[in-house]
Amino acid sequence: MDPHLKPYEKDFKRRYRLFQKQLSLLEEAEAGFDQFTRSYRSFGAHRQPDNSLVFKEWAPAAEALFLTGDFNGWDKFSHPYKKKEFGKWELHIPPKEDKSPAVAHNSKLKHKHPRPRKPRSLRIYESHVGIASPEGKIASYSNFTHNVLHICLVSSPFKCSLMSFLLFSTSRYGTPDELKELIDVAHSMGIIVLLDVVHSHASKNTEDGLNQFDGSDSCFFHGGQRGEHPLWDSRLFNYSSWEVLRFLLSNLRWWMEEYRFDGFRFDGITSMLYHHHGVGTGFSGDYSEYFGLQVDEDSLVYLMLANHILHTVYEDCITIAEDVSGMPTLCRPVQEGGCGFDYRLAMAIPDKWIQILKEFKDEDWDMGNIVHTLTNRRYGENCIAYAESHDQALVGDKSLAFWLMDKEMYTNMSTLIPMNPIIDRGIQLHKMIRLLTHGLGGEGYLNFMGNEFGHPEWLDFPRVGNNESYHYARRQFNLVDMDHLRYCQLYAFDRDMNRTEDKYGWLAAPPAFVSTKHEGDKVIAFERANVIFIFNFHPTNSYSSYRVGVGPSGKYKIKLDSDEIQYGGHGRLDHNTEFFTESVPFNDRSNSMQVQNIQIQKMRL
């Protein structure tokens, strides 16, 4: 598929040999990867049939281990572990006199609904449970289950049209059983649930983290400088360690088995792939940057193992890589020498939109550059496109809606007053940016919670700098229910954009053919999944008749129009109009058609 990779054939073969060697070692020493990755069943805390408790840990450098908690009055020495071979430790605690467990535990929720099948088109609603409430507080799993899940589903008209949402997990949001309930209810609605998993680094915290777990600096991590991330001030796992592999791979199986997640978004992959962790490195796309001594092949083989095991055991598992380097074959099967991910995040796209809004006037937008950013991805490796990142909404920056409309959103979003030029421009561009990204940018689409309706505020967590305030650590979903505000119009467009994709399936179709990227007219036109997309980004010009190239001949009708009044537009297009192709080649397409009334979709500031 890519002849430019031929000079690096030896690298791929070596990587694959290392991967096969690890699999063979697992077979010899642990009776295969299935048993090895179920080590969460023996390590940690486990209740036996007689209600006794068995605790098992790996701490090779420790001199002694003790279990302490409220069950023993926080006595540090009353419950010592016994040392076993290979750096392992065990503790057995018999039940109380009434035969109840010595350490109490809540009841276990049973799962009721099966996992949904892997979707044809992946549309992700990225979520942060802790801010998923209009109130300034730490929101809970239960709040998400009862008040937010239906918002994730609204983009699809049928339950069989699957969506997913991406979340983070922490005990601050509730109990394990409440998280299990959330996932089970999501499955009942046909929603798949992905977890944002961080296996790229870990906190330096020694009080409740893994750092110096056994008293050394090299239990789970590399010792010395190699175990320190130079920018993140965090610890780096030693992926060549047998017990670290057991811990991380079993962690993935535990999330899948115990909580029944449907897959993972792997955080910080770039840091794992290279010894330099991407620090001070500007990836130009030269293939020599992805091979050779700078590649950390221990980490790379771990990712190959993780993907191989997950996709072997769970047929419909989805894995997504967060990588800024552009590593080739990251999303090709392991048997091809790839890493085995299903998708990678198209991280350049949200950066491009923010750069355009920050640095360029409307009339200076470069159509060719926008198209290049949206289409610049490796053929045969699926990408998740997104118009704005959750990082860009953090304090110190602004969301797309804020860059477009800023403080006007607090005073001029009412439908009871005429739109001023800033709100008009912002609403029209917000819709167009999302649809262009959705249609052209990848094989999946991601939206961060609130961005679908142009959330009016940035995101800021409680900290010393804001007096520990929760005011901006929230999502005001209540704005969508207010018919007199225009947020519901942006929301309605997002809903129908996803419903239209559900009908035609352009995310699952081959990449688009871009027939028009006219700098003077500021028009972009492309074809994907037998759908013709036409965008007019000109700040002042409408076109009464505009010729666009078309592949399949026939009759075309308007199926989605960002200028509809219900979406905050001006209702200038006649949806009864039918457009017929002509056998007139145009812009490298065999047919073309004259499209009437290509309207201005935004106003000059």
* Residue 378 near residue 443, CB atoms below 8 Å: no
In which residue are the tokens 């109380």 written? 96
CA distance readout (Å), 255 to 54, 169, 195:
21, 10, 8
**CA 36 – CA 40 distance, rounded (Å):** 9
Phi and psi, residue 532, nearest 5°: -100, 120
| C-alpha torsion sign, points 392, 163, 316, 143 | positive
Q: What CA–CA distance (Å, rounded) separates 157 from 210?
A: 44
Q: What angle do CA 304, 305, 309 make, to 5 degrees?
A: 120
Residue 575 contacts by C-beta under 8 Å, 6 or more apart in sequence? 557, 558, 561
Strands (E), 268-424: 318-321, 343-345, 383-385
- Given 296, 298, 322, 457, the catalytic residue: 322
In what helix (H) or strand (E) does residue 17 lie, and over which residues does it extend?
A: helix 9-30
Contact 155, 126 (CB under 8 A): no
Q: Which helix (H) or strand (E) holds 524?
A: strand 523-528
CB 304 within 8 A of CB 269: no
* 452 a catalytic residue: no
Three-state secondary structure of 120-138: CCEEEEECCHHHCCCCCCC
CA 537 to chain centre: 29
- Is 483 considered catalytic here? no
State the number of CA atoms in the 13 A half-sphere of 479 facing the CB.
Answer: 26
Q: What is the largest CA-CA distance in the chain?
A: 89
Q: CB neighbours (10 Å) of residue 510?
A: 10
Would you say 344 and 265 are in contact if contact means Cβ atoms under 8 Å apart?
no
Place of tokens 């496109």: 385
Contacts of 581 (CB under 8 A, 6+ apart): 550, 552, 553, 554, 555, 556, 591, 592, 593
Q: Choose, from 267, 289, 316, 397, the residue flagged as catalytic.
A: 267
Catalytic center residues = 267, 322
